[in-house]
Structure 1
Amino acid sequence: MGQFNLIDIFAGCGGLSEGFEKKNNFNVLAAVEWEKPQVQNLINRMVTKWNINDAARRVLRFDIQRTKELVSGWNNDPEYGSHEGLDKLLNQKQLDLIIGGPPCQAFSVAGRIRDENGMRNDYRNYLFESYMKIVRRYQPKLFVFENVPGMLSAKPGGTPVTELIKTEIELSGYHIIDDLKTHAQIDLSEYGVPQKRKRVIIIGLRKDLYPNAQEQLKHFYTEHLPKYKESIKTVRNAIENLPKLLPLDEETKINGKRYSHSFSNEVANHIPRFHSRRDIKTFQLLAEDLESGYGKYISSESLKQLYTQITGKTSNIHKYHVLRWDKPSNTIPAHLYKDGLRHIHPDSVQSRTITVREAARLQTFEDDFEFISSAGDNYKMIGNAVPPKFSEKLAEALEILL
């Protein structure tokens, strides 16, 4: 079994690299991320779980668009401080792979619907170019590029993003599978993730090292990676055994913070959001409707009408969704930090939305992965992450190409 060196770009809190860390033959030499809470959580995880004592040096908090400085180092930046840069950090070590997923909001269908310009002018459409600059500089054997299925239909500036990406990758000296739509879309629920979550996983192989790249990639996607599939996991599998958090008879304050529910210190991050009495009654109503089998609030139309009845507001999309015990969860999104109404706990007795720990479990983070930022930041980084259970399977599968 060989040893493989990698760097993680757009690392977030480390969901993608977590799976590689679990395989003893992968060494994460560096990670790049620009958001401070994510960096703090990633460093904490690397130190406390993986005993990487120089994690604060290995994790570079910086803007990848400033690629020259990222590589050569920067000093006394008002936002990012100082760092020696990737070149000195890597110290001419052979890099076997680069992994990462540029921010996906600008590629997502939902994001394009919400933005009046369809996110055509969003800078995040072009961050893959910065990613590829790093690939070109260090020339790994292969790279992994993760993103949302919406990228397959995105057209920033009127040009399909897949054409832009393929051209950039080819010019950089790498091959990717010809038919991304057929082969690179992966349903993560088939790999033990208790959640409906589809992602595009693009693998690039260096042309000079893989003369039969198309054949090897097709074999990887159609025959090898599917060997790691497992039976569908459900919300029940993921969160049923967590301590129950029940509505309080009246709200309480602890250290100035309001609580509407009991909470547990048995498991880290298992503290519910504060909910109004109105919302608690609504959550109970919706969960009881499912438990009883009555199904009054199953359709989108009935849920929209209920929302209007309760709030006096109208919405083009239904705001409420109760998780189903015996099915995978709906997708855990980054905007869960703003709104938990589409992730209501299925137990009517608890009458609440899901906690940070429940979101983490649905994303397959282990309970010893403690999130140390505000609840809002924690929800956001969990929703943006690659589920570690899938990334571990991906890491093991990639060994056939390394």
Structure 2
Amino acid sequence: MRQVKGNIIAQKLARLMSGGQPRVLDLFAGCGGISLGFQAAGFRIDAAVEIDEIAARTHAMNFHKGLASDAFERHAKPRDITAMEPEEITAELGLGPVDEAFDVIVGGPPCQAYARVGRAKLRDVADHPSAFKVDPRGNLYLRYIHYVKATKPLAILVENVPDVLNYGGHNVMGEIAEVLTDLGYVARYSLINTAFHGVPQMRDRVFLMAVHKDLGTSIEFPKASRHMTLPPGYNGTRSVALKLVDLFAEGHFVEADHGNPDMDAPVTCEEALGDLPPITLHLEGKLRRGARRFDQPVPYPSRKKLPEYARRMRNWRDFEAPEDGLRDHVIRYLPRDAAIFREMPNGAEYPIAHVTAVRLWEQHIRSLEKSGKRVSGAEKQRLYRAMVPPYPVGSFPNRWWKLRPDFPSRTLLAHIGKDTYSHIHYDSKQARVISVREAARLQSFPDGFVFCGTMNPAYRQIGNAVPPLMAERLAAQIKIALDRAISGRMLAGTVVAAE
């Protein structure tokens, strides 16, 4: 075979051809949902950029835990992407020249930042030689693109909420695809619900994948592994999001595969959570208010046969369940609401919860009066305030929701860092909201994944994350594209000198 000295893309391919692992830079990394999925698919997580101090430390604790103290602290350092250049990161971490350091860039810039771009299309703004300086606080997509330009990756993954397809009159993901095309990439994006890919959660997200055109290959989205009919609310949200997507003329959008009725049903909440230890301390008067840490292991209950999903969460390579028991299995102290949680039917929302609370209050008043006690009007009002949630029924219909054991969960959001009423456990005997570890299970984080901080920050990190199982499925498709490019080069008889 003949040797040809090529450009940086060819040199990176040559490194992979010689057996090197694809190296990932995770931007807006959070606690590491995307990183975990890519690691599971055979990629190496070399660096991450995350501004939140607790999430950055969580990421380091899980992906760089074997390093010496000084090296670990460099990875655990929070980094502001608006204030840090790509070459500063590679220099700090000892990763060499910035354009040689990474093979893949992944991440999800916050959608809200796009508002700062104004009415101009992203590709017009991005063409400016100092585009990211237009407003470095807000134009985080421009920073993402700036990092792409500097690091010259072979492949790219971008993730965001469905609103990114119809944000202030812009299809932001379509415009990102246009910019990446201008930079020499073949880009495709799709609106995917994770329930079709083995995650026990109905979570709609937009994913863009791109590969450099010099690879001589294209990128394909994974086929559905499960099938379901989404509830009507999800279809309405998807219709609004897709309003600005030109399904015929654009060329970048790919309709997601939804499988067929002959396929397996989605992973249910029971399959995801049913093997975990019950929590009843709050019913026994042994739970108090305050921040809770995760230093108390809880033994798994004995169970002869585990669902496939539970086995994966316990046996994820390098993140196996701790031998001494489950960590992070802690809940919020909500003494007023346990009786409501118990009486609510599965699948019920806040209006039913409110009706249930009023019924319990009425029953309590009748019980007091039947016992011979005289209950004044003022006392009835006091008891009402103590027993019935104060939120207007019409204003927050989705604020509360009780899981269905036979169905996937609704979307987990960062808001669970403030309250967890959106995910009330389906087991009425436990009469509680889901624990931190149960939130992690619904998001497909394995039991051996460690969260830094106390309960509320852990909930928030989980709600913000990309489900690792979904990331793994996307990473597998990128790996296929890279392997296809390597095979093509080998068949052509060309070896590129990697310098």
* TM-score normalised according to structure 2 size: 0.63
Identify the match of residue 199 of structure 1 among 179, 198, 205: 205
* Aligned mates of 2:329, 2:288 — CA distance in 1: 17
Q: How does 1:108-187 map to 2 (within 5 A)?
A: 126-155=139-168, 158-162=169-173, 164-177=175-188, 180=189, 184-187=190-193
> Does the CA-based 8 Å contact 2:401-2:424 persist in structure 1?
yes
> Does the CA-based 8 Å contact 1:10-1:100 persist in structure 2?
yes
Identify the match of residue 57 of structure 1 among 49, 74, 82: 74
* Aligned mates of 2:443, 2:194 — CA distance in 1: 10
Question: Displacement of 1:165 after TM fit?
Answer: 2.2
* Aligned mates of 2:213, 2:292 — CA distance in 1: 58
Q: How does 1:242-261 map to 2 (within 5 A)?
A: 242-246=276-280, 247-250=282-285, 252-253=287-288
Identify the match of residue 72 of structure 1 among 73, 88, 96: 88
Amino acid across the alignment from 2:177: K
Residue 226 of structure 1 is matched in structure 2 by 223
Question: Displacement of 1:252 after TM fit?
Answer: 4.9
Helix, strand or coil at the partner of 1:199: strand
> Does the CA-based 8 Å contact 1:238-1:362 persist in structure 2?
yes
Where in structure 1 are there 5+ consecutive unaligned residues?
Answer: 74-82, 109-121, 291-296
Amino acid across the alignment from 2:110: P
Residue 112 of structure 1 is matched in structure 2 by none
* Aligned mates of 2:102, 2:467 — CA distance in 1: 24
Larger Rg: 2
> Does the CA-based 8 Å contact 2:288-2:333 persist in structure 1?
no
CA offsets per residue over residues 340-380 of structure 1, 9 Å max, x none? 11100011111110000000001111111121311111001
Residue 80 of structure 1 is matched in structure 2 by none
Question: Displacement of 1:285 after TM fit?
Answer: 1.4
> Does the CA-based 8 Å contact 1:104-1:124 persist in structure 2?
no
Where in structure 2 are there 5+ consecutive unaligned residues?
Answer: 1-16, 116-134, 227-262, 300-324, 359-383, 483-499
Question: Displacement of 1:306 after TM fit?
Answer: 5.6
* Aligned mates of 1:380, 1:344 — CA distance in 2: 16
* 1:283 is aligned to 2:289: no
* 1:329 is aligned to 2:335: no
Question: Displacement of 1:106 after TM fit?
Answer: 6.1
Residue 353 of structure 1 is matched in structure 2 by 433
* Aligned mates of 1:368, 1:65 — CA distance in 2: 32
Residue 108 of structure 2 is matched in structure 1 by 101
* Aligned mates of 2:429, 2:326 — CA distance in 1: 20
Amino acid across the alignment from 1:96: D
Amino acid across the alignment from 2:285: E
Rate the CA distance shift 1:135–1:23 in 2: closer, same or farther, 3 A: same
* Aligned mates of 2:136, 2:434 — CA distance in 1: 32
> Does the CA-based 8 Å contact 1:31-1:60 persist in structure 2?
no
Question: Displacement of 1:84 after TM fit?
Answer: 4.0
Question: Displacement of 1:391 after TM fit?
Answer: 1.6
* Aligned mates of 1:307, 1:152 — CA distance in 2: 40
* Aligned mates of 2:224, 2:402 — CA distance in 1: 32
Helix, strand or coil at the partner of 2:192: strand
* Aligned mates of 1:125, 1:349 — CA distance in 2: 47
Rate the CA distance shift 1:107–1:285 in 2: closer, same or farther, 3 A: farther
Helix, strand or coil at the partner of 1:146: strand
Name the structure with the higher strand share: 1
Rate the CA distance shift 1:306–1:106 in 2: closer, same or farther, 3 A: farther
Rate the CA distance shift 1:123–1:199 in 2: closer, same or farther, 3 A: farther
Helix, strand or coil at the partner of 1:169: helix
> Does the CA-based 8 Å contact 1:336-1:383 persist in structure 2?
yes
Amino acid across the alignment from 1:351: A
Helix, strand or coil at the partner of 1:371: coil
Helix, strand or coil at the partner of 2:337: helix
* Aligned mates of 1:312, 1:357 — CA distance in 2: 29
Amino acid across the alignment from 1:250: G
Helix, strand or coil at the partner of 2:480: coil
Residue 374 of structure 1 is matched in structure 2 by 454
Helix, strand or coil at the partner of 2:481: coil
Helix, strand or coil at the partner of 2:283: strand
Question: Displacement of 1:163 after TM fit?
Answer: 5.0
Amino acid across the alignment from 2:454: S
Greater shift, 374-383 or 165-174, is seen at 165-174
Rate the CA distance shift 1:227–1:328 in 2: closer, same or farther, 3 A: closer
Rate the CA distance shift 1:226–1:52 in 2: closer, same or farther, 3 A: farther
> Does the CA-based 8 Å contact 1:245-1:263 persist in structure 2?
no
Residue 329 of structure 2 is matched in structure 1 by 270
Helix, strand or coil at the partner of 1:176: strand
Identify the match of residue 396 of structure 2 among 312, 317, 321: 317
> Does the CA-based 8 Å contact 1:67-1:130 persist in structure 2?
no
CA RMSD of aligned residues (A): 3.2
> Does the CA-based 8 Å contact 2:201-2:442 persist in structure 1?
yes
Helix, strand or coil at the partner of 2:449: coil
> Does the CA-based 8 Å contact 2:24-2:47 persist in structure 1?
yes
Helix, strand or coil at the partner of 1:203: strand
Residue 492 of structure 2 is matched in structure 1 by none
CA offsets per residue over residues 117-138 of structure 1, 9 Å max, x none? xxxxx98863111011000011
* Aligned mates of 2:343, 2:55 — CA distance in 1: 36
Question: Displacement of 1:90 after TM fit?
Answer: 3.8
* Aligned mates of 2:147, 2:76 — CA distance in 1: 15
Helix, strand or coil at the partner of 2:150: helix
Helix, strand or coil at the partner of 1:89: coil
Rate the CA distance shift 1:377–1:37 in 2: closer, same or farther, 3 A: same
> Does the CA-based 8 Å contact 2:199-2:469 persist in structure 1?
yes
* TM-score normalised according to structure 1 size: 0.77
